[in-house]
Amino acid sequence: MIKDFLSTYGLRDAAHTKLEGYGSVNYKLSHGENDYVLKYYSDLEELSLIESENNVLRHLSSFPDLNTPKVMAELMPTDIGFVRLLSYVKGSLLKKEHLTSLFLSSLGRCIATLHLKLADLNEPIIAARISSWDLNYTHTNASKTEYVKDPTQRKLVAHFLDRFSAYVLPQTHSLRSQIIHGDLNENNLLVNDKGELNGIIDFGDICYGPIINEIAIACTYVAMLAPENFLSNITHIIAGYHSISALQRKEISLIYDLIAARLCTSVLHSAESKGLNGATEYILQNEAPAWHLMEIWSYTSPVLVKNHFLNALGCEVKEVSSKSSIERRKKVASPSLSLSYSTPIHMESSLFQYMFDDKGNRYLDAYNNIPHVGHCHPHVIEAISKQVRKLNTNTRYLYSIYTDYSDHLLSYFPSRLNKLLLVNSGSAASDLAIRMARVATGRTHIAVLDHGYHGNTMLAIEASAYKFDGKGGSGAASHIIKLPLPNTFNSFYSDGKSYADEAITLLREEISQGNTPALFIAEPVSGCGGQVPLAPGYLEHMLPFLQEHGILFASDEVQTGFGRLGSHFWGFQLHNVEPDIVILGKPIGNGHPMGGVVTSDQLTHKFANGMEFFSSFGGNPVSCAAGKAVLEVLEREHLQANALNVGGYWKDALLALQRKFDVMADVRGYGIFLGVEFLDHDNSPLTQLAGTVKNKLKENFILSSTDGPYDHVLKMKPPLCFSKANADEFVSVLERILMQLI
């Protein structure tokens, strides 16, 4: 009987208060000067583990320099379940205000002392324990992801679980391991009136695991208490530990991922408890801080964290000089291969809308449109890696991912465009589009827009005024008909119809000479032309003429497709026309090398003249898996809506800035495909200023580029997960730069 149990210890009339807890039911009993903790257990399977935990506590009680609960009574059966009595360790729970450097280094030292005392202890039941809270088993929590409803939070967890499996798990067995406390959170670290660590309680998560896991767990909770100072606070803990017991380089290198692993464990348990309606305030107390820290973690460079700790502990940090990287590259690369920025960046890793260099700097990526759904998106990574493990072959075999993906992608097109041909790049897609048009029409001429770019193959270069009229180019080939870019800003015509009339006159002349083109190829918004949207009405007026003369129209959606423009999924929809061919590239595989041509039944039949179309890699199962994953993320994360929302907000902020700086002559674009044209008072292009702005943005850790006929247009086309906060950062830095320059 519980009453008899309490009487044995003179506690029958002790005052009692309930204490919060995760696994057991706990009471604080107070009797005279002495306080105790009474714990109830109903799960009999745990009893042997609790016996082992008691053994550990008894062992620790023999060291006066460590204040841990003392075992006052063995585990006993009573009428209300098994009970256990421990001494009550005094102190207040760890709070933000306790986090001084002195406290944190003493915490580190205390953890080291605890580990030294537990180092030789052998408790087979603890060693055999499997717990979802044990960092070694972080990956076993992946199934709980279904309870995380927010897609952005899901991708964060998926990313860090993936890193855990890739970088931590393979090392787990080579890390120094022993019995550890397993849960040094703010509720288990007690502080005295002087703000010193007074004791460690609650050994309920005790496990056998790497000592670095323990340190990482303590660091996680300290970082959650004060995320603004996480790096220096954590460093104090690690340095404190290191001063008593040296940490290994390998261990230090894992701290970034172990902290993330603990955050995943925490948020996934919270999500599961909520999903199963078992959540309490106590269980959810760290939910919001854990998500907050995980977000910070996602834009914190792993290299920065690692190097910071290594430096603090006096370990060597190897740095590769950018000069030597450039020299090495020069030795092997063609001189025609360029590098961005006056001082190029050596990239180390990237995530979502951020890129990280080898020195630990984080760059806000306002430029790269290939990682359309975000750099290293975990869903795309998973799809690729699952498929590449299973089957990677070519289109001469049947495999369902090919048709699944084709069906999915084609569902985004008007019903007439019902055929997909897959290749490996935008260039190959442009090339194929031209070839198809030539075969289908029996003509060789191609009509193109001034400043357009369609790729790097011979055919695509011939169709790209940006190249044949640019440096090293030799002008338009005789079968190329170049039409003016219908630009309404600062130009001859201010409407699409006038440009279309001019183009039609030029085409009529060519037709009269027997040069009717097979194809007219254009981007709906000219990227290399300097983010120039084709004048409204231009394509609408052109199409009837083209159709009348059997000239096919290809919309190059390599830059504009897949929802980037916000209001429409494809650029041609913006112009209210239906092309005969759509050229796809860049975002289609989020960086996996893919390209595609979408066209009609009719055209593919004309193309099928007996010559086989085969691409060794085009349409392979891995590419299809990547492409399908991209569409799934776009849908799941509502990225087209984000492009509309954030893009509109960003453009408005740029337009507001334009009122302050005359040199920002035009701010244009749709969705997250924007440009700022820099012109002087006399309308001359400010090429140098645009270049300086680009380089200064980079010095401020923001990536952008310049383009246009005079390289005077600042170009923004980031991953679609770009946020309003990112847009704010971009605009405020741009404002600062322009204030300095003008």
Q: Which of 34, 61, 245, 456 binds ligand PMP (CB under 6 A)?
A: 456
Binding residues for ligand PMP, total number by CB under 6 A:
16
Contacts of 318 (CB under 8 A, 6+ apart): none
455 binds ligand PMP (CB under 6 A): yes
Within 313-352, which residues bind ligand PMP (CB under 6 A)?
none
Helix crossing, 230-244 with 302-312: angle to 10°?
40
**Percent helix, strand and coil across the chain, each rounded to 5?**
45, 15, 35
425 binds ligand PMP (CB under 6 A): yes
Residue 576's Cα: distance from chain center in Å? Answer: 34
Nearer to ligand PMP, 55 or 573 (CB): 573
558 binds ligand PMP (CB under 6 A): yes
427 binds ligand PMP (CB under 6 A): yes
Q: Which of 253, 368, 430, 640 binds ligand PMP (CB under 6 A)?
A: 430
Alpha-helical (H) ranges within 565-675 are 571-574, 601-607, 621-636, 639-658
Q: Taking the CB of residue 605, how many other CB atoms lie within 10 A of it?
A: 11
Nearer to ligand PMP, 517 or 585 (CB): 585
555 binds ligand PMP (CB under 6 A): no
Nearer to ligand PMP, 220 or 531 (CB): 531
Stretch that binds ligand PMP, among 72-80, 117-125, 420-428, 674-682 (CB under 6 A): 420-428
Stretch that binds ligand PMP, among 253-261, 305-313, 551-559, 699-707 (CB under 6 A): 551-559
Q: Which of 134, 251, 462, 556 binds ligand PMP (CB under 6 A)?
A: 556
Nearer to ligand PMP, 184 or 428 (CB): 428
Q: Which of 240, 527, 561, 708 binds ligand PMP (CB under 6 A)?
A: 527
706 binds ligand PMP (CB under 6 A): no
User: Which secondary-structure segment (H or E) carries 298?
Assistant: helix 287-298
Taking the complex as a whole, how short is the minimal distance between the CB of residue 456 and ligand PMP, in angstroms? 6
Taking the complex as a whole, how short is the minimal distance between the CB of residue 450 and ligand PMP, in angstroms? 14
Taking the complex as a whole, how short is the minimal distance between the CB of residue 528 and ligand PMP, in angstroms? 6
Taking the complex as a whole, how short is the minimal distance between the CB of residue 309 and ligand PMP, in angstroms? 40
Stretch that binds ligand PMP, among 292-300, 326-334, 423-431, 609-617 (CB under 6 A): 423-431
Task: Give 263-266 contacts, CB < 8 A, sequence gap 24+.
Answer: 263/160, 263/220, 263/290, 263/293, 263/294, 263/297, 264/138, 264/141, 264/157, 264/160, 264/161, 264/164, 264/294, 265/132, 265/133, 265/135, 265/138, 265/141, 266/220, 266/290
- CB–CB of 177/211 below 8 Å? yes
Stretch that binds ligand PMP, among 281-289, 302-310, 447-455, 477-485 (CB under 6 A): 447-455
DSSP 3-state of 469: coil
> Minimal CA–CA distance to 483: which of 506, 501, 466, 517?
506
Stretch that binds ligand PMP, among 75-83, 276-284, 309-317, 554-562 (CB under 6 A): 554-562
The strand ranges marked E within 146-210 are: 177-180, 189-191, 197-200, 207-210
User: Which secondary-structure segment (H or E) carries 29?
Assistant: strand 25-31
The strand ranges marked E within 278-367 are: 347-351, 354-357, 362-365
Q: Which of 187, 406, 559, 599 binds ligand PMP (CB under 6 A)?
A: 559
Q: Are strands 673-678 and 713-716 parallel, antiparallel or unpaired?
A: antiparallel
431 binds ligand PMP (CB under 6 A): no
Q: Which of 462, 523, 580, 707 binds ligand PMP (CB under 6 A)?
A: 523
**What is the C-alpha to C-alpha distance for residues 152 and 77, in angstroms, rounded to an integer?**
48
Taking the complex as a whole, how short is the minimal distance between the CB of residue 454 and ligand PMP, in angstroms? 5
Nearer to ligand PMP, 395 or 560 (CB): 560
Nearer to ligand PMP, 188 or 559 (CB): 559
**What is the C-alpha to C-alpha distance for residues 707 and 709, in angstroms, rounded to an integer?**
7
**What is the C-alpha to C-alpha distance for residues 62 and 53, in angstroms, rounded to an integer?**
15
User: Measured at CB, which residue is nearest to ligand PMP?
Assistant: 426
- The encoded tokens of residue 87 equal 């001494």
- The encoded tokens of residue 585 equal 């590239």
- DSSP character at residue 352: B
Taking the complex as a whole, how short is the minimal distance between the CB of residue 527 and ligand PMP, in angstroms? 5
Nearer to ligand PMP, 216 or 558 (CB): 558
591 binds ligand PMP (CB under 6 A): no
Nearer to ligand PMP, 484 or 648 (CB): 484
Stretch that binds ligand PMP, among 173-181, 435-443, 449-457, 542-550 (CB under 6 A): 449-457
Taking the complex as a whole, how short is the minimal distance between the CB of residue 424 and ligand PMP, in angstroms? 8
709 binds ligand PMP (CB under 6 A): no
Contacts of 516 (CB under 8 A, 6+ apart): 443, 445, 510, 549, 550, 551
Taking the complex as a whole, how short is the minimal distance between the CB of residue 574 and ligand PMP, in angstroms? 15
Stretch that binds ligand PMP, among 21-29, 450-458, 541-549, 699-707 (CB under 6 A): 450-458
> Minimal CA–CA distance to 271: which of 294, 251, 299, 296?
294
571 binds ligand PMP (CB under 6 A): no
Q: Which of 115, 372, 454, 482 binds ligand PMP (CB under 6 A)?
A: 454
**What is the C-alpha to C-alpha distance for residues 519 and 54, in angstroms, rounded to an integer?**
81
Exposed / middle / buried, residue 306 (Cβ in 10 Å: 0-12, 13-18, 19+): buried
Nearer to ligand PMP, 429 or 646 (CB): 429
Taking the complex as a whole, how short is the minimal distance between the CB of residue 566 and ligand PMP, in angstroms? 18
Q: Rg of the Cα trace of the chain?
A: 32
453 binds ligand PMP (CB under 6 A): yes
364 phi, psi to nearest 5 deg: -80, 120
> Minimal CA–CA distance to 484: which of 500, 495, 473?
500
Exposed / middle / buried, residue 540 (Cβ in 10 Å: 0-12, 13-18, 19+): middle
Within 143-202, which residues bind ligand PMP (CB under 6 A)?
none
Taking the complex as a whole, how short is the minimal distance between the CB of residue 460 and ligand PMP, in angstroms? 7
Q: Which of 585, 596, 618, 671 binds ligand PMP (CB under 6 A)?
A: 585
Nearer to ligand PMP, 67 or 526 (CB): 526
- The encoded tokens of residue 256 equal 């970034």
Applying CB under 6 A, the residues found at the interface with ligand PMP are 425-427, 430, 453-456, 523, 527, 556, 558-559, 585-586, 595
